Structure formats: C-alpha cells, structure tokens
Structure 1
C-alpha cells in the first residue's frame, strides 16, 4: 500500500524502466494501491484517516537523520522514535506489519549530534553508513582520567598539566592523524560472548582490553586551548573512538585526559545543521521530506547491486531511475 508521495513516482517506474521485473513490480504496487483506496472509501472518516496514515508510514523507506540529545542511549532514542510512529497507526495494522528501524552507529549516552536512521529497506544500507566517515567536535580536559574516558565516569587518576602548551598539543595531534592503531575503551558497545563490554563493566566483572586495531583519522585540528580544556575537530572512519583519542593524547603529553563533551556533527553526507530531525519534527510528513532530501545525497543504488571497475580495489554502485523510485516508495 502506498502514500500519495509514492504514487507520484509510479509513472516514472513504468515508463522509464527497461527491466521487465521492475515493470511488473510497479504494476502490482499500483493495483494494490488502487484496491486500498477503494477499501478506504468505504470506511468512516477517522478510520479512513488512520488507515491512510498507516499506509504512508509503512511506505517510508530509506535513510534519514535525527538529533540525539544528551541522556538517552542511541537504542533508547530509536525506540522512542518507533513508539512515536507506531502511535500514529491503528493497532490492527501494527499486528499485521512490522516497522523496520535501525541506526547507523552508536553515540554514547552523554554525546549529542547526528544519528543516521534506516527505515524499511533503508536498514540494509546502515552497514555502509557505519563504516563511513564521521565528524566530531570534542572538548577534552587535561589532568583528569576516568574509567569511562569521559565526564560520566569515576575519576581514576589526576596529574599536573601546567607545563602543557598549545604548541605541545598541536605537535602531538600530528601523531594521531592518518592510519593509526587504537585500543577501544572498555566502556563500549563492543561485545564479549554476545554481551556488551559496558554492561559487564557496570556489573563489576573483570574485562580484558580489546587488542589495538587499525583506524583512520582523516583530519584532526585544535580549535581552542584554555587549560585544562581543549577543543578538537575530528574526521575519522568507522570503528574510531574519540574517547580513546583524547585519553591517548593526554598520555602523549605526560599527563592524562578525558572527554568533557562530544558532538557528532556529520555522519556520511548528513550534517547536524541541515539534516538532523529534532523530536518535535518526528512526523510522517517531516520524515518523508527528510528521506527524499537525504536519499538524494547518497551516490548509487540502494539495492546494493554492485559492479566492479577496472581498478580491483574500487567498487561502484549502479544507479537507475527504477531503483531510486523503489527507495522513495
């Protein structure tokens, strides 16, 4: 069943697609949409409106971004979004259809910023987002270490920092740019025997540090320095922990350090200023508009059908009008 937004794209699929399977699929969708409209005409006003909202909700598919505030975990925020959307649909619809939602990269509960969300078939694209580049602004504090490597943890060490200069800090940053090795924090979403390390740590269980692993830092710059605080802008690849970075910087400066504030300003092509929907915008209409905007920023084909180029290390994704249409549906 399709929303009005979706039906506007149907002629494109039928007219422009040379793929017979795509034509058949579009025809089936159109027929179902017609049957749904006929059924809705026989409903009472409020019931018809609720059914139409459900149709539009379950037709949403693709990637968009939301704003994660300080406090909730990424999973808790996602559940809040799902509950908000589910409340807009009749209960009998919820039993028959499953609303698929996922996110593309955990933010710490104390962190804020962009959280990319996949809905419908968009959940299949989240692994690409997770592995892609991200930008952060982090405020670090010299002279104080915690067990979580941020301000939410228990202080484990304090050291003097009065001899650290701006030049010292800028010099050290060069060591953490490019391809580096990084030990993930113990308080993290990484798992041991199927359970998060952070959950084991909170229960007081002994947890061994994960081995150092390769990560990439595309850019790292000092934006502000007023001891004990310093502000960094970081662009990094997947699997990178800003908390570990700040802690390691402190050690290189012969002191210690922890994160005081962390904001993800960009994930993939989605920025905090332009694309992250705040909670008061979590409506079907706003999400549909955001999906259309965000999906237009992504290169390639959402179905992940890839083809190899002459360069064996490079893979491109083929884009067709038909596939873009199906994602907008």
Structure 2
C-alpha cells in the first residue's frame, strides 16, 4: 500500500524505534577505540571490537532509500541486522555488556508498495523523530483512473470500475485547487492508524469490520499535475503530517465522476532530507557510511533538536512505539520485546 502518506504511512505519521538507550558517554577505552579506528586507512583491518564501539557511539538522524517490497519496520530490522553483523554482534549471539545497547528507529512510515526517503534516528537521534514528522513531505504519485480498490492502491482488490474516457488534462488541473491548502481528509481504512491498540490495516486483513475514521484537517502546500496519459496521471504533492496520498488520488477520481487508485508512490523529500542527495541505498548501509551521513546531515537540523525529547502527548498523537534491544538479549519465542 502506498501510504505516503505522510504519517502513517508515517501513517499517521508514525514513528517506530527498534532499539535501546545508548550510554550518555562511551568510556575512555571506547573513545580510544573509536579514535584508533578513525586513524586506520581504508586498507587497514579494523577489529570487530572497534566497529562495535563505533556503532554504539553513533547518534543523530540520517535517511535511507526504501525500495518497494518491504514494510518500513522490515527495512528497519534489515538495517539493524546489517549493522550488528558488521560489528560482529549478530542478534543471536549478543554481547554480555548490558550497559551498551543499540537504539535505532524510523519516523514517517512508508507502505510496502511505496519507495523513497525514510528518516532514521540512531542513538539519541531517536528522540528527534517525532519532530521530523511535523515537517513537510513531498511525493511523486502515479494514479490510475477508472479503478477503485479496497486499499486505494494497486495492491488491493478492485471494488469498482468506472469510465474515464471523458476526462481531460484540463479537467484534472481544474480541480486540484480544491485539494490545496488546509482541507479535510478521511484516512484510508488500510492504514497504520490504530483502533484499540491495533492497526486498522491488520484488522482489515483479518476480515473484521472497521469503521472509517472521521475526516480530519490536513495541509497540502502544493499540488500539480506533471503528466497525463489516460488512464494514468502523475502528481507532485507537498504536504504536511497525517496526509494520505492514497486518499487524495481516490478523492480526485470521485471529483471527476470516476474513480482512481495509486499505481506508484515515491517520497522524494521528508523535512530537509531529499531522495537524491541524502537517502543511503542499501549498499551504503555500513557503519562508516552512516557515520559520514550523520555528519553531513547534522547541518540540516536545528541544534536544539538534538537533545529534545518528545512529549508524551506527541508520542501518542504520532503513534510512537519503541523497541529496546539490549546487546545481550534476544526476542522471546513469542516475539515479545520491551516497548515504551
């Protein structure tokens, strides 16, 4: 599904962390190991202990390029496993140093069918993710006229088909102003929004009856038609948190006396992070590359965000959930982990 949705997709701008508190200081020996690793040339052999220490010292916010396929949570787990493996700390054989833990999370969920910028917090950077969710996001969405689905995107079951031959480019451009500015929007049933602690999408997949959430205020800063080749149309959208591109495309189809769903969705920008300039592809998910990215991206963020803790009410509003994985613990057979 394509949530772009700036929010739950971060859906409703959701923020998830899979991690554990990093020590406020890394001790003298640890600092020395990091310095030694930094002095080594690219051809030098870096010990696993030095890599582990460097990993645990990482703190800040960076971005990765999420491909189509995995969910945001699955991608976060893949990233975590890569880093632990590089540092010689596979999750099944975690070190016994209880005080040294890895905290990592993402803010602004993207559905499995969507691709693009996914903001990641590591160490104390996880405290900044809620603030990141309040910034603007930008998307390129390809919609398909004439078909409606239960998920509002191409992954769902077709629920309705209507003619679209009469729709022109001018028709689409003429209605976009209705969806620009401060508007009211009904979130999709298939979303990361929750009812009684469970995601609506999970309840829907179980076949349970789910009532639509009431319309809520959202903001669209800019909206333009980039291309129209019936039945497909391409939109460039910049919006605030809590906005769903799938709902937008569906509403546009209805406004045109037809129907529509999202065929492709790409998030090109989240806050100050852009897909082209800041999002690390998977082959760059290494401790050194992330350290360099954290340094590069530090200039993008207000200094006061670095140590700012999200308020309890903010965490609830944005669906904040945290996992704490200590380096000497693994998930139980039932998959249960500590959550905040």
Does the alignment reach a TM-score above 0.5? yes
Query: Relative contact order (C-alpha < 8 Å, sep 6+): which is higher?
Result: 2
Partner of 2:60: 62
Partner of 1:167: 170
C-alpha contact 2:146 2:231 (8 A) present in aligned 1: yes
**Alpha-carbon separation, structure 2, partners of 1:126 and 1:155:** 35
Partner of 2:81: 83
Partner of 2:338: none
**Alpha-carbon separation, structure 2, partners of 1:36 and 1:226:** 58
Provide the secondary structure at the position in 1 that maps to 2:101. coil
C-alpha contact 1:54 1:93 (8 A) present in aligned 2: no
**Alpha-carbon separation, structure 2, partners of 1:231 and 1:35:** 52
**Alpha-carbon separation, structure 1, partners of 2:276 and 2:26:** 36
Provide the secondary structure at the position in 2 that maps to 1:161. coil
After TM superposition, the score normalised by the length of structure 2 is: 0.76
Distance 1:170 1:48, change over 3 A: closer
Provide the secondary structure at the position in 2 that maps to 1:102. strand
Runs of 4+ in 1 over 3 A off after TM superposition: 28-38, 90-95
Partner of 1:72: 70
Q: Deviations over 1:205-258 (max 9, x none)?
A: 000000000000000000001111000000000000000000000011110000
Matched, 1:304 2:302: no
C-alpha contact 2:55 2:287 (8 A) present in aligned 1: yes
Q: What is the number of equivalent residue pairs in this alignment?
A: 275
Provide the secondary structure at the position in 2 that maps to 1:200. helix
Q: CA deviation at 1:88?
A: 2.2
Q: CA deviation at 1:298?
A: 1.0
Partner of 1:272: 275
Partner of 2:254: 251
| Of 87, 92, 95, the match for 1:93 | 95
**Alpha-carbon separation, structure 1, partners of 2:200 and 2:167:** 33
**Ranges in structure 1 where 5+ consecutive residues have no aligned partner:** 1-24, 41-45, 307-329
C-alpha contact 1:66 1:277 (8 A) present in aligned 2: yes
Partner of 1:191: 194
**Alpha-carbon separation, structure 1, partners of 2:34 and 2:227:** 59
C-alpha contact 2:127 2:309 (8 A) present in aligned 1: no
Q: CA deviation at 1:153?
A: 0.3
| Of 206, 213, 235, the match for 2:238 | 235
Bigger shift: 48-57 or 172-181? Answer: 48-57
1:143-222 residue pairs with structure 2 within 5 A? 143-222=146-225
Matched, 1:129 2:127: no
Partner of 2:5: none
Select the structure that is richer in helix: 1
Q: Deviations over 1:116-161 (max 9, x none)?
A: 0000000000001112110000000111000000000000000011
C-alpha contact 1:86 1:94 (8 A) present in aligned 2: no
Q: CA deviation at 1:303?
A: 1.3
Distance 1:264 1:47, change over 3 A: closer
Q: Aligned-pair RMSD on alpha carbons?
A: 2.4
Partner of 2:108: 105
**Ranges in structure 2 where 5+ consecutive residues have no aligned partner:** 1-22, 38-43, 311-340
Q: Deviations over 1:68-105 (max 9, x none)?
A: 00000000000000011111234453753221111011
Distance 1:29 1:189, change over 3 A: closer
Distance 1:153 1:240, change over 3 A: same
Q: CA deviation at 1:47?
A: 11
Partner of 1:225: 228
